[in-house]
Amino acid sequence: MIQRQLNSVIKEKWFSGKTILLLGARQVGKTTLLKALLENTPERIEWINGDNPQDRALLNQMNSDQAQRLFPKGTVVVIDEAQRLENSGLTLKIIHDACPDIQLIATGSSSFELSDKLKESMTGRKWTYKLYPVSVGELQEHIGYFQLEKNLETRLLYGSYPDVINRVGSEKEALLELTSDYLYKDVFALQTLRKPEKLEKLVQALAFQIGNQVSYLELAQITGLDKETVERYIWLLEEAFIVFRLPSFSRNLRNELKKSRKIYFYDLGIRNAVIQKFSPFGLRDDIGQLWENFLIVERYKHLEYSRTFVNRYFWRTKQQQEIDYLEEADGVLHAFEFKWSAKKIKRLPKTFTTTYPEAKVAHITRENYIDFVAPNHL
C-alpha cells in the first residue's frame, strides 16, 4: 500500500479538540488512508458510511443525547462520504459539541456539498485537508527514484489514481472505469444540473485547452451553453476535484491580462481518458501541455501536504508574452518556466524581468523537476 503524506499530518491533529475533514475525489484513497491511520490505534472506532441508507437515517435524526450514548469518551468516529447526509453541517456540529472527548473525522468527495453546509456550523471547529491522486513524493517513497524516472511518461499518460497505479498493464481500463462510474457522480447528483451531456462536452473542451488561456465565451459556443452556465459548470467541476483554475497575475503593468485564467486537470489520466488520447509520447503533439499540467498539479500537492500557503498565478501580456507559473508569498515573487527538454529553455520576457526585477526565476525541466515537485523526498 502506498503511504500517503497526509497520514502523518492528520495524526498530528489527533484528539486536538477539532473535527478532521478530509476532502477529495472519489477513488482517490480517502478511505484507505483512514483505515491505515486507524489500523493500530488503541481507541474504539465507529465507522459510519454516508452512502448506507441505515447509517444515513440514524445520523439525520441525531441529537446531543443520542450522540453522547453512541460515541463515548475516547472514541474515534469516522463519517465516510458525509456529503450524503441531509444536513451534514448540523449533524457534525451536534456530535462535535456533545462529545468533546472523541475524535470526529468526516470525509467528502464533493466540496460544493460540504463547504456551504460547514462554513457557519463548523467555523473554528475543524481542520480541513484535501487528498489528491498519488503525488510524486509519495510514489518515490513507494517505488524508489529509479522506478519513478522509468515510469514518468506512464504517469503523464495515465495519471496517478491509486487503482490506476496498482493495475500495471491495465491502466487504460482502470481509467475508463473511473470516468464512467465515478467522475461526474457528485456533479450529476445536483438537481440544478439539467444538461449532463453538455457538461461532458465542456470537460472534453477543457481537456483540449490545458495550458491555454480559457475563454468562457468560446467554451459557450463550443458546448451550446450560455456563458453563465459554463462558468457555473466549471465551478462545479472544480469543487468536485476534476479541474482547477489558475488566475493571471497583474500588479501594475497596463498591458498585462486581467481576469483571465487557465484551467488544469487534477489528474492527467482523467484528462486523457475524456478525450480518449493515450497514444505514446513519440506520437503526441501535446507533450508541452501535459508537462505543464503535471508540474503545476504536483506542485499543488506538495504545497497542500506541507501546509505551505502561497498565491499562485500565470503571467501573460496582450502581446502574448508569457510565464507558465508564478508563486507569491510574503511579498516575494517566484517565476517558473516549464520545458520538457533543457535544450528548449529560453530567457524570460524582458517586459517581466524589467517590471519585476526582484522576482526569483527558475526553469523546470525533465532533468530537475523533482526538486520542484517533491523537494522533501530527495
Range of the domain at 21: 6-130
Assign residue 113 the CATH number of its domain.
3.40.50.300
Full-prediction pTM beyond 0.85? yes
For residue 256, what are the contacts with CB-CB under 8 A and spacing of at least 6?
248, 249, 250, 315, 316, 317, 318
Cα(198)–Cα(202) distance, rounded to whole angstroms? 6
Per-residue pLDDT of the chain (378 residues; tens, 9 = 90+): 899 999 999 999 999 999 999 999 989 999 999 999 999 889 999 999 988 999 999 998 889 999 999 999 999 999 998 888 888 888 999 999 999 999 999 998 866 666 666 666 787 889 999 999 999 999 999 999 999 999 999 999 999 999 999 999 999 999 999 988 888 877 776 656 667 788 889 999 999 999 888 888 999 999 999 999 999 899 889 988 999 999 988 776 555 556 678 999 999 999 999 999 999 988 999 999 999 999 999 999 999 999 999 999 999 888 888 999 999 998 899 999 999 988 888 888 999 999 899 999 999 999 999 999 998 754
Residue where a domain stops, chosen among 130, 155, 174:
130
Q: Could you list the beta-strand ranges (E) of 74-206.
A: 76-80, 103-108, 126-130
Residue where a domain stops, chosen among 100, 130, 160:
130
- Does residue 181 lie within any of the structural domains? yes
Contact between 272 and 210 (Cβ < 8 Å): no
Q: Which of 369, 321, 361 is nearest to 342 (CA)?
A: 369
Q: Which of 357, 338, 223 is nearest to 292 (CA)?
A: 338
Q: How far is CA 308 from CA 301, 302, 312, 314, 360, in A?
A: 10, 8, 12, 19, 18
Same domain, 112 and 141: no
Give the pLDDT score at 378: 42
Give the pLDDT score at 3: 92
Instruction: For the sheet with 126-130, list strands across it.
Output: 45-49, 76-80, 103-108, 19-23, 126-130
**C-alpha cell at position 242:** 476534476
Cα(225)–Cα(112) distance, rounded to whole angstroms? 21
Same domain, 106 and 144: no
Same domain, 142 and 18: no
**How many other CB atoms are there within 10 angstroms of residue 169's CB atom?**
6
> What is the torsional sign of CA 152, 149, 238, 359?
negative
- Does residue 289 lie within any of the structural domains? yes
Cα(263)–Cα(213) distance, rounded to whole angstroms? 8
**How many other CB atoms are there within 10 angstroms of residue 167's CB atom?**
16
Q: What is the dihedral of CA 190, 192, 196, 199, to 10 degrees?
A: -100
For residue 320, what are the contacts with CB-CB under 8 A and spacing of at least 6?
none
Q: Is 210 helix (H, G, I), strand (E, B) or coil?
A: coil
Same domain, 85 and 232: no
Same domain, 248 and 303: yes
Q: Which of 189, 224, 186 is nearest to 204 (CA)?
A: 224
Same domain, 140 and 83: no
Length of the chain: 378
Same domain, 242 and 267: yes
How large is the greatest C-alpha to C-alpha distance in the chain, in angstroms? 68
Q: Is 77 helix (H, G, I), strand (E, B) or coil?
A: strand
Cα(286)–Cα(277) distance, rounded to whole angstroms? 10
Q: Is 337 helix (H, G, I), strand (E, B) or coil?
A: strand
Contact between 272 and 183 (Cβ < 8 Å): no
Same domain, 149 and 293: yes
- Consecutive H or E run containing 362: strand 360-364
Residue where a domain stops, chosen among 92, 113, 130:
130
The domain tally of the chain equals 2
Same domain, 95 and 70: yes
